[in-house]
């Protein structure tokens, strides 16, 4: 896993050195080429996790950007129109993330989505308390976050 990633970085650095133009687009292109080469070379290996994980990470980044933009448009619409459409509330959210790193990433992602704000994490690290702006029903919010953001994030990390 780590070995494959370092090999991929090395291949893209070699690509940048050989082509001689130090732009991030060229680096990205080299990374893609290196990923392709590694994928062809490692098709008979048993450990294929790296090659499943990189597309998942890219799709997660785009999913997250889409969510952020969607929620931002909703909040902006609510700010500039005279009527308040939101129903705020504090929700108790049971996490399935366990280690500190997973909790850190999950709370950062939830915080960066507009309309949600982490108030606190319980001391036994099982639940977090989220202040939500558009809360129609606490159960549906918890279910949506569990099946959407948290499942995708844990699929990458585990």
Partner 1 sequence: MIEIILGFLSTVGALSILFASIGILRMPDFYLRLSVTVKASTLGVGLLLICAAIMFPDISVTTKAIAIIFFLIITAPIGAHMIGRAAYFTGTPLWKGTISDELAGMYNEETHRLDSEEDESDDDIHDGKPNIAKTDEETK
Residues near partner 1, by CB under 8 A: 22-24, 68, 71-72, 75-76, 79-80, 84, 86-92, 94, 107-108, 111-124, 126-127, 129, 131, 133, 135, 138
Please give the structure tokens belonging to residue 16.
Answer: 């940048």
Rg (the chain; Cα; Å): 20
* Closest approach of partner 1 to the CB of residue 108, in Å: 5
* Closest approach of partner 1 to the CB of residue 86, in Å: 7
Strands 89-94 and 127-132 come out as: antiparallel
* Closest approach of partner 1 to the CB of residue 84, in Å: 7
* Closest approach of partner 1 to the CB of residue 50, in Å: 23
Is 40 or 79 the residue whose CB approaches partner 1 more closely?
Answer: 79
CA distance 77 to 62: 23
Is 119 or 157 the residue whose CB approaches partner 1 more closely?
Answer: 119
∠ CA 54-59-65, nearest 5°, is: 130
Please give the structure tokens belonging to residue 138.
Answer: 């606490």
Is 41 or 65 the residue whose CB approaches partner 1 more closely?
Answer: 65
DSSP one-letter code for 45: -
């Amino acid at each position: 896993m780590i070995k494959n990633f370092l090999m991929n970085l090395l291949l893209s650095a070699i690509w940048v050195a050989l082509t001689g133009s130090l732009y991030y687009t060229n680096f990205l292109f080299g990374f893609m080429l290196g990923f392709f080469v590694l994928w062809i070379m490692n098709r008979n290996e048993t450990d294929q996790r790296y090659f499943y994980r990189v597309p998942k990470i890219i799709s997660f980044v785009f999913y997250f950007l889409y969510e952020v933009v969607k929620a931002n448009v909703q909040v902006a619409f609510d700010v500039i129109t005279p009527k308040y459409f939101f129903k705020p509330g504090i929700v108790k959210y049971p996490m399935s993330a366990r280690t500190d790193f997973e909790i850190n990433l999950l709370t950062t992602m939830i915080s960066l989505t507009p309309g949600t704000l982490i108030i606190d994490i319980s001391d036994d690290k099982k639940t977090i308390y989220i202040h939500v702006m558009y809360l129609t029903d606490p159960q549906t919010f918890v279910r949506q976050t569990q099946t959407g953001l948290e499942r995708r994030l844990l699929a990458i990390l585990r």
